[in-house]
Chains A and B, each alone.
Chain A
Amino acid sequence: KNEVEQSPQNLTAQEGEFITINCSYSVGISALHWLQQHPGGGIVSLFMLSSGKKKHGRLIATINIQEKHSSLHITASHPRDSAVYICAALGGATNKLIFGTGTLLAVQP
């Protein structure tokens, strides 16, 4: 079992839909990152969370430390949101990022 699990692996949505991507982890962490990777390969850091909730534009990230679970929400989704979304846990013991396998999101017009 991976230390960081994401679901779903693939997600297809219609433009305007509300999207949720889930991340569960089994290790102690210092922080959790949500990353976005476009087809070209470059990675953009969307959020870094250690507790609670953060919002940036149409993106919202939440984390529940007790349940070891985080979610990334996209409101009013748009085709330009199509990308791979990766959660990565910063291991509390190792101080290294442990990556989930990613969620491939396709938003259709």
Chain B
Amino acid sequence: SAVISQKPSRDICQRGTSLTIQCQVDSQVTMMFWYRQQPGQSLTLIATANQGSEATYESGFVIDKFPISRPNLTFSTLTVSNMSPEDSSIYLCSVESRDSSYEQYFGPGTRLTVT
């Protein structure tokens, strides 16, 4: 298994500002994923972050709004830029097991409120 931590766990931000969320894994993993969960909704994949390459964004998400870094096999950041109240969500990172068993592990989430 993989143990994932996220920082911050929650934050309240002013509109127009940016927040960077950190995701740390206790083991080396190839694929990391960033999800958004808007209030009352299920999870939506923002992007897939592989070490050593540009993140791959899903339809409706762009790099200028959600830049992602993946400097090594245990760490990634997601920045939510120029925030608006519509960005208020839980942001979760997850990782896929390196043994390709389809297991995915999720972080505790970052609860973001934009005022």
A residues touching B (Cβ–Cβ < 8 Å)? 30-31, 33, 35, 40-45, 48, 50, 86, 88, 90, 96-97, 99-102
Determine how close the nearest CB of chain A comes to the CB of B17; give it in whole angstroms.
Answer: 21
* A30–B45 touching, CB < 8 Å: no
**What is the interface residue range for chain B against chain A?**
20 to 34
Q: Apart from A48-B102, A96-B45, what are 16 other A-B pairs with CB-CB below 8 Å?
A: A30-B102, A31-B102, A41-B90, A41-B92, A41-B109, A42-B107, A42-B108, A42-B109, A43-B92, A43-B94, A45-B103, A45-B104, A45-B105, A86-B43, A97-B45, A102-B42
* B45–A86 touching, CB < 8 Å: no
Determine how close the nearest CB of chain B comes to the CB of A91; give it in whole angstroms.
Answer: 11
Chain A residues positioned under 8 Å from B111 (CB to CB) = 40-41
Give the contacting residue for B106; candidates A42, A90, A96, A101; CB below 8 A. Answer: A42
Q: Which of B43, B44, B101, B111 has the most CB of A within 10 A?
A: B43
Determine how close the nearest CB of chain A comes to the CB of B2; give it in whole angstroms.
Answer: 10
Q: Which residues of chain B (95-115) have a CB below 8 Å from chain A? A: 101-109, 111
Considering the complex of A and B, which 6 residue pairs feature the smallest CB-CB distances, nearest first? A42-B108, A41-B109, A43-B106, A31-B102, A99-B42, A41-B90
* B106–A45 touching, CB < 8 Å: yes
Kindly state whether residue B37 has any CB partner on chain A within 8 Å: yes
